Structure formats: structure tokens, C-alpha cells
Amino acid sequence: MCGIVAYLGQRRAQPILIEGLKRLEYRGYDSAGVAIRCADGMHLAKAVGRIMMLENEAALRSCDAGTLGIAHTRWATHGGPSVENAHPHTDASGKLAVVHNGIIENHSALRKLLEQEGVVFRSETDSEVLPHLFAKYYRGDLAEAVRQGLKEVRGTYGIAVIHADNPDALVAARNGSPLIVGIGDGEFVVASDASAIIAHTTRVVYLEDREIVTLTRDGFSTSTIDAVPTSKEIQEVEWDLEQIEKKGYAHFMLKEIYEQPESLADTTRGRIDIEEATAVLGGLRAFAKELTRAKRIILTGCGTAWHSALIGEYLFEDLARIPVEVEYASEFRYRNPIIEDGTVVVAISQSGETADTLAAVREARNKGALTLGIVNVVGSTIARETDAGVYLHAGPEIGVASTKAFTSQVMVLFLMTLFLGRRRHMAHHHAVNIIQALTRVPDQVRDLLKQDGHIEEIARTYKDRENWLYLGRGYNFPIALEGALKLKEISYVHAEGLPAAEMKHGPIALITPDMPVVFLANRGLQYDKIMSNIEEVRSRGGRVIAVATEGDEEIGSHADHVIRVPDVGESLQPLLNVVPLQLLAYHVAVMRGCAVDKPRNLAKSVTVE
């Protein structure tokens, strides 16, 4: 993993491939490479580090006339970052080149077999078995060679393959790793992410698992790995190029934090029926009866999506009165979960391609559960493989650390709670109050962003601290987790989120003088308890940063710093409280000189298990 771009057309391939790789930089990578088919053979260039390093290398070694090529950004999985381990990989002749996302699980066995046949490997990667395997079956028909080779492969892959003897053919295939074919005017752009395509075309085809596409200058055809022809619908990508530009912001993450008033409004637009006091979710309409009769809901996701699921648990149980369990998607399939009649499994993923979450969906479906997806990317694998679902409509999120997708996930879970609650136990007047409060949230977030300067000064005070604690109760416990995760992801500072009551059961031993402790201290049922926790920290010399309710005069005498948020009901507090924590993490990371949009060792979409 992590990013694939391939081109076949009439224009020079090299600048298109390099531009595509730059648009995939946000996914994270440690090396990159490009292969271009030229009149005198295959031209290959690789570099460790940023795309600029590759661009310098490619400019020296590539050909101007080549109109067919493949490129890749890699996050190391098998073998460390090196030129040898970077993609594309080639066969012994140097004529067949492959880029690969995913993991070949049986690569060791295939490697031994190929070595016995005289193949000499040049890298430590699992991916290098692919070009040698395809070359073994190549007899002039590239698609057939790929098809025969993939029959021996066990694992996940998104691949693009070219051959120096086939100037008019580009072959791509997927199994568990996303791949999109962009269809332009006399040209094709294949990529693992639509952001590398939309500068050239918005017309795309999404490949399914175990599906292969053969692209020529005359058109394209798709089939299964077993050579059964398939029919594909050409779809329109809903994002445009302007949406994925920074628009003057220093980082994509900051831009996306500031986009939350609009993204939250977009998430709710057309989805609220004020007269009936309910949510209108067209993606769930066909399953309304099954959802109304549901006996249990399992919410599953990874990372930030798992935190939104925790908030969903509070919402569904508190307001819709449905029993809920929250599962790490990475653990769900391996613990033989009990799926009884009436169980609904809801998978949450920004990209809709998260490998662990997709595996959880498949396990749930195999066990007979109704599966729903909450995703941001239209046409993504989870969107296609679940029975129904709801799109976030948050717009493209480029920063690796999720911000606007998280708040849109929480908003969708709120809408689903209304949708189910009104069909079960929620009274009309109660729903009206919730809807009125929800419609105010975008403007409240917009006002919160005006405190950016104040939050930046708090960050400046504690930017050099290496240990932070985030504490909250009830609905705000997941926000404590999310605030800590944001700081860890982009500033590389150790941070821990906890239910505030758990601090005294061990973690209180971590409190040292001047240690920053962030409290979610809104007015609510557990306000007095939170105040007691604050005093426990203060008595040990900890420095208190409190997110507190506007108008709360008491908190000022108990906290070193106060960030004010609007006075809303407890169920709505997560949507507001998380915004200052996003800004706090952002400013700490910038002041520490970290790569905010491309944090080390992280990828935007984790497509390997």
C-alpha cells in the first residue's frame, strides 16, 4: 500500500502520473515510483521520500513520448523504505511492470516456487512475486497472464500492470483493495482514490472484488478473474477539483476543521421532516420495518469511526431505547460474534474501504445480520456490500486525521436515532426539540471557530509537554478519546483519554506537576462529579484545560484555561466539544514542526488488515 495511479491515452503519461501521486500524498507514504512504456522499452524511476525526489529522478530517466504508465506511493509493510522495495516492480526482463496495494498472504510459498524456477528477487516485498508470476504466464496476452497469475494468489490486491511489448494495453484488478477507472475522452486514468482522477474526468467505474479490467485505446472490458464477463455502470464522481484544494489554508486539516459548519449542514440537508419530527433517510426506507423491530444494534468501526460509534451507543440507547454494542472492527470477525435474529450491524468508515471494517461487514452478513453502512465516499466497497446505508455528504477529507468526517458521522447517528426513535418510543415534542437543536449546530460550530486564537495560545503554553490526559463523562467520554487520538496522530505526543471516574483507578498515578489535563466539563447531570475530578488533578499540580458551558462562572476558579462552548443538551455536546480539541491538536502539531496532513506511519485509508 498505499496509492496507485495508471494512465493510458494520447497525452504524455509522466506529468499525469506525477500529478496523480501528489494528489494521493495525503494517504501517507515513504517511497514512490513510476514506470513508463517508451519506444525503446520500459523506463523505471524510484525514490525514497517525497514525490519531489521521484520527480527529479523521473525527469532524468523517463521518456517524453510515453503515453502508457503506472505509478505508486508505498507505505512499508514487507521490507523497509528503500529504492529496491519501492514500486513498480518488474520481472527479470524488465518488460513487465506492476504496482500493488494490499498484502499477498501466500507470498512466501510463491517466492520459493519461483526461486526454484530460477527467478532472482531484488526486494524484500511480498509484491514482487506478482510481476514474476505474470511473466511466467505471459504469451502475448497481458490480461490472460494476469488472470492466470492471480488464480495462484491468496490475499488482498489492487494492481495495475503494463508490458513493454503491449503499448496499447493496461490491465488492472482488485480484491479487497479499492481501484477506480476514470473514463476520459480517448484516455483512461486508473487510481486507488478518486482524487487522482477528477482533474481529468468525473466519469468512473468502480471495480468489484476479483474483477479485472482490460483497457485499450479503443475502450475497456471487465470480467471476473475466472473470465466471466461483467457489465459495469459508469458513474459520476460527486466531488470536483476545487473541493480538494487548500483554498489558502496552511493545511488540509485546518481547512477541514473550518469546513465543519458547511459539512454538518450538508449532512442534514433534505433529511429532516419538521412536520413529522423525524429524519428522512432514503437509504434506510426499504428496511424501515426491520429496523423498527431490531432487537439489538452492533456499531463497528476503527479509530475515529469507533469513537463516533461510542457516541452512537449513547444516542440509540438513551433516545431510541435500543440495546447497542460497540465493537472494534478489527476484533469483530475473530471472536465468533453471536448474531441473533433481529441484530443489525452498522459499519462506520470515512473511506468506505477500511479493510477491518469491511471484513466485519462480511462476517455479519455471513451470519445473517442486516448490515448498514455509514460512509463518506459514494460507490465505496462498504457502500456497495451493505444492505443499506447513509452517506455523510461531508465532502472530500484529505487530512489523515479525521475531523469533519467525524462530526458528520455523529450527525448521521443522530439522524438515525431520530429515524428509529420516532418509530419506537420517542414522543413528537421530544423529537421537535432535538431537531431544533440540531439545526442550530452549524452556526454554533461557526462561532466556536472564532476562539481559534485563544486555543492557539493554550497550545503554545503546553506544546512541549510529552504527556497529556483527556477526561470526560457520559456522552463526553468518547470525545475525551477522540481528543487524545487527534493529539497522538499529528503531534506524536503521548495522550490518553479516559472516563473521568476511572482516573482514580490507576491513571491518577500519572499526574505530575504542570501536566496538561483536558476536562470536558459542560453543565449536565455529572457536572459536580467532574468538578471533583478537577480538584483531584489540581491537588497534584496538574494544569487544567476545561471545555465548559458558556455562562458557567464557577469553572473559572478551578481551571487554568477555559474554552467556552454553547449551552446545549448533553446529547449534543459531542458535536461542539470536539471542535476546540481538533484545533488544540492542530496547533500543538504545527508548533512542534510536525507534518500535520501526512503524519508519520499513518495512512488515510487503511486497506490492509
What pLDDT digit, counting tens, does each position of 574-586 carry?
A: 999 999 999 999 9
Compute the distance between CA of residue 34 and CA of residue 73 in angstroms, rounded to an integer. 9
When comparing pLDDT for 56 and 318, which is higher? Answer: 318
50-59, 237-246, 327-336: segment of lowest average pLDDT: 237-246
How many domains are contained in the chain? 3
For residue 32, what are the contacts with CB-CB under 8 A and spacing of at least 6? 21, 46, 47, 50, 51, 53, 54, 71, 72, 73, 74, 86
The reported pLDDT for the residue numbered 241 is 66
Do 37 and 129 lie in one domain? The reply is: yes
75 lies in some domain: yes
What is the structure's pLDDT at 353? 87
Q: Is position 433 within any domain?
A: no
If you average pLDDT over residues 399-428, what whole number do you get?
95
Query: Does the pLDDT at position 607 exceed 70?
Result: no
pLDDT-based confidence at 80, cuts 50/70/90? confident
Q: Can you tell me the distance from the alpha carbon of 1 to that of 104, in angstroms, rounded to the nearest whole number? A: 11
In a domain, 438, yes or no: no
Mean of per-residue pLDDT scores for the chain: 92
487 and 452 co-located in one domain: yes
Q: Are residue 227 and residue 255 in the same domain, yes or no?
A: no
Which CATH number covers residue 584? 3.40.50.10490
Same structural domain for residues 285 and 313?
A: yes
Question: Is the CB of residue 301 less than 8 Å from the CB of residue 402?
Answer: no
Q: Per-residue confidence at 288, pLDDT binned at 50, 70, 90? A: very high
Q: Which long-range contacts (CB under 8 A, 24 or more apart) does 120-124 make?
A: 120/92, 122/84, 123/79, 123/82, 123/84, 123/85, 123/89, 124/78, 124/79, 124/80, 124/84, 124/85
| Residue 608 covered by a domain | no
pLDDT in tens, 471-498: 999 999 999 999 999 999 999 999 999 9
Which pLDDT score, from 0 to 100, does residue 582 have?
98
Give the distance, in angstroms, between the CA of residue 235 and the centroid of all CA atoms in the same chain.
Answer: 21
Give the model's pLDDT for residue 56. 81
List 95, 255, 598, 604, catalytic entry: 604
Looking at the structure, tell me whether residues 387 and 355 fall in a common domain: yes
The reported pLDDT for the residue numbered 319 is 94
- Is there a single domain that holds both residue 238 and residue 256? no
What would the mean pLDDT of 333-361 be, rounded to a whole number?
91
Active site annotation includes 604: yes
Q: Is residue 506 part of a domain?
A: yes
Are residues 419 and 554 part of one domain? no
Q: Considering the domain boundaries, does residue 602 fall inside one?
A: no
Q: Are both 52 and 88 inside the same structural domain?
A: yes
Same domain, 44 and 174: yes
Expressed as residue numbers, the domain containing 223 is 2-242
| Domain end residue (candidates: 182, 210, 242) | 242
Residue 26 has pLDDT above 80, yes or no: no
Judged against a pLDDT cut of 90, whether residue 502 lies above it is answered with no
What pLDDT, in 10s, does the model give residues 214-251? 999 999 999 999 999 999 989 888 766 666 777 789 99
List all residues 6 or more positions away from 567 whose beta carbon is below 8 Å from its beta carbon: 523, 549, 550, 551
Q: Within this chain, do residues 338 and 394 fall inside the same structural domain, yes or no?
A: yes
In a domain, 604, yes or no: no
Residues 227 and 270 in one domain: no
Residue 553, pLDDT > 60, answer: yes
Q: What is the CATH number of the domain that holds 7?
A: 3.60.20.10
Would you say residue 149 has pLDDT above 90?
A: yes
Domain end (from 180, 212, 242): 242
Q: Is 475 in the same domain as 402? A: no
Q: How far is CA 239 from CA 199, 201, 258, 333, in A?
A: 10, 11, 18, 33
Q: 318 to each of 221, 311, 321, 419, how far by Cα in Å?
A: 51, 11, 6, 14
In a domain? residue 544: yes
Provide the pLDDT confidence category of residue 30 given band limits of 50, 70 and 90: confident
Query: Does residue 382 register a pLDDT over 90?
Result: yes
Helix (H, G, I), strand (E, B) or coil at 482: helix
Among the residue ranges 20-29, 333-342, 369-378, the one predicted with the least confidence is 20-29
In the predicted model, is pLDDT for residue 98 greater than 60? yes
Query: Could you say which of 217, 242, 267 is where a domain stops?
Result: 242
Mean pLDDT of 558-573: 96
> Mean pLDDT, to the nearest integer, of 300-304?
96
> Is 2 known to be catalytic?
yes
